[in-house]
Amino acid sequence: MENALASLKPQRNVANALLISTRPKQWIKNLLVFAAPIAAGSITNTKIIGPAIIAFFSFTLVASGIYLLNDVIDVDRDKSHPKKSTRPIAAGQVPIPLAMAVAVVSAAIGLTMSFAFAANPDLGIVVTIYLLMNIAYSNFLKHEPVIDILIVALGFLLRAIAGGVADHVPLSNWFVIVTAFSSLFIVVGKRYSETQLLGEDASTHRASLGKYPIEFLNYARTLSSGVAITAYCLWAFEKGASAPKGALWIESSILFFVAAILRYALLVDQGHGGAPEDILLSDRLLQVIGAIWMIVLIIGIYLSR
* 258 falls within a domain: yes
Residues 71-89: tens digit of each pLDDT: 888 887 777 766 777 788 8
Residue 184 sits in the same domain as residue 298: yes
Residue 7 sits in the same domain as residue 128: yes
| pLDDT (mean) for 129-147 | 90
pTM of the shown model = 0.85
pLDDT for res 11: 65
Residue 30 sits in the same domain as residue 130: yes
Residue 176 sits in the same domain as residue 293: yes
Q: Inform me whether the pLDDT recorded for 162 exceeds 70.
A: yes
* 165 falls within a domain: no
* 242 falls within a domain: yes
pLDDT for res 151: 93
* 157 falls within a domain: no
Per-residue confidence band for 10, with pLDDT thresholds at 50, 70 and 90: low
Residue 134 sits in the same domain as residue 188: no
Higher per-residue pLDDT: 224 or 212: 224
Per-residue confidence band for 5, with pLDDT thresholds at 50, 70 and 90: very low
* 261 falls within a domain: yes
High-pLDDT (> 90) share of the chain, %: 47
Residue 3 sits in the same domain as residue 83: yes
High-pLDDT (> 70) share of the chain, %: 90
Q: What is the CATH number of the domain that holds 33?
A: 1.10.357.140
Residue 226 sits in the same domain as residue 275: yes
Residue 11 sits in the same domain as residue 128: yes
**How many CB atoms lie under 10 A from the CB of residue 214?**
10
| pLDDT (mean) for 154-167 | 90
Residue 133 sits in the same domain as residue 185: no
Higher per-residue pLDDT: 141 or 158: 158
pLDDT for res 130: 95
pLDDT for res 2: 42
**50-63 burial, b if ≥16 CB within 10 A, otherwise e?**
ebbebbbbbbbbbb
Determine phi and psi for 171, rounding to 5 degrees: -105, 120
Whole-angstrom distance, CA of residue 154 vs CA of residue 302:
29
Could you tell me if 27 and 60 are in contact, meaning their C-beta atoms sit under 8 angstroms apart? Answer: yes
Higher per-residue pLDDT: 80 or 109: 109
* 77 falls within a domain: yes
* Closest by Cα among 220, 230, 122 to 173: 230
pLDDT for res 65: 94
Residue 28 sits in the same domain as residue 82: yes
pLDDT for res 3: 43
pLDDT for res 7: 45
pLDDT for res 237: 92
Residue 195 sits in the same domain as residue 132: no
* 148 falls within a domain: no
Residues 21-55: tens digit of each pLDDT: 898 988 998 999 998 888 877 767 777 788 889 99
Residue 97 sits in the same domain as residue 178: no
Q: How many domains does the chain have?
A: 2
User: Which structural domain range is residue 106 located in?
Assistant: 1-143
Whole-angstrom distance, CA of residue 152 vs CA of residue 189:
12
Average pLDDT across the chain, whole number: 86
* 122 falls within a domain: yes
Mark which of 104, 123, 143 sits at the end of a domain. Answer: 143
Mark which of 128, 143, 158 sits at the end of a domain. Answer: 143
